[in-house]
Amino acid sequence: MRGLSPIDSVSSILEGLTRRLGLESKLLESRLRRDWVSIVGEPIASNTWPDQIRYKKLYLLVHNSVWLHQLTFLKPTLIQKLNQVAGADVVTDIVLRIGELPEAEPAPLSPGALPAAVSPASDELLAEISTHVTGIQDPDLRNHLAQLMAQSLAHQRDPKAG
C-alpha cells in the first residue's frame, strides 16, 4: 500500500477507505434514495423505490404489477444509468418486487421548525417561507433554509436589530 502524499484529496482517501471497508454499495444506496427522481425521472420515481443493493443486484420496490412489467423492459437502460451515476459497474442486475413505497412528499413547515428568535411566527410568514422551500426534498436542508429565511425576514421587519 502506498503512503499518503501531501496532495492526496479527501475524496480519494475516502474512496479508498469505503472500498476497503466494503461500503460502496451502502453509499450508492444512500445516493440513489436521495437523488432517485433526478436519476430515473419523475414517472418512474413516483412508482418505484430503491430498497437495497446486494451482490451487485439492486432490489427495487415497485408500486404495482403493471409498473413491474414495464420496468422489465427498461432494466438495461436503468442499469446503465445507475452505473453511470456510480462511476463503476456496481449494479449488474435489478430485482423487481411489488411493495409499499415510502412517502416522498415534503413535510409542511411548522412553527417548531423555526428558530426561537422568530417564534411565534405568523401564519403569513410561514406561508411565505413554505412557498419558497417546498421544492427541496431533503428535510434537514429544507428546515435549515426555512430557518435562515425566517431569520432574514424577521431581521428585515425589525429595524432595531443590528
**Per-residue model confidence as pLDDT tens digits over 91-103:** 899 999 998 888 7
On whether the pTM is more than 0.75, the answer is no
Among 67, 134, 76, CA closest to 104: 134
Say if residue 77's pLDDT is above 50: yes
Q: What pLDDT was estimated at residue 131?
A: 76
Among 70, 66, 155, 83, CA closest to 115: 155
Secondary structure (H, E, C), 133-148 = HCCCCCHHHHHHHHHH
Q: Dig out the grid coordinates for 154 from the structure.
A: 424577521
- Contact status, residue 64 vs residue 98, Cβ threshold 8 Å: yes
Task: Read off the DSSP letter of residue 113.
Answer: G
User: Position of cell 428585515?
Assistant: 156
Distance CA 72, CA 1 (A): 43
> Which of the pair, 148 or 54, is modelled with greater confidence?
54
Q: What pLDDT was estimated at residue 160?
A: 56
Among 124, 111, 108, 114, CA closest to 145: 114
Q: Dig out the grid coordinates for 34 from the structure.
A: 436521495
3-state secondary structure of 58: strand
% residues pLDDT > 90 (the chain):
20
Q: Where along the chain do the CATH 3.30.300.180 domains lie?
A: 13-98
Q: CATH topology for 13-98?
A: GMP Synthetase; Chain A, domain 3 (3.30.300)
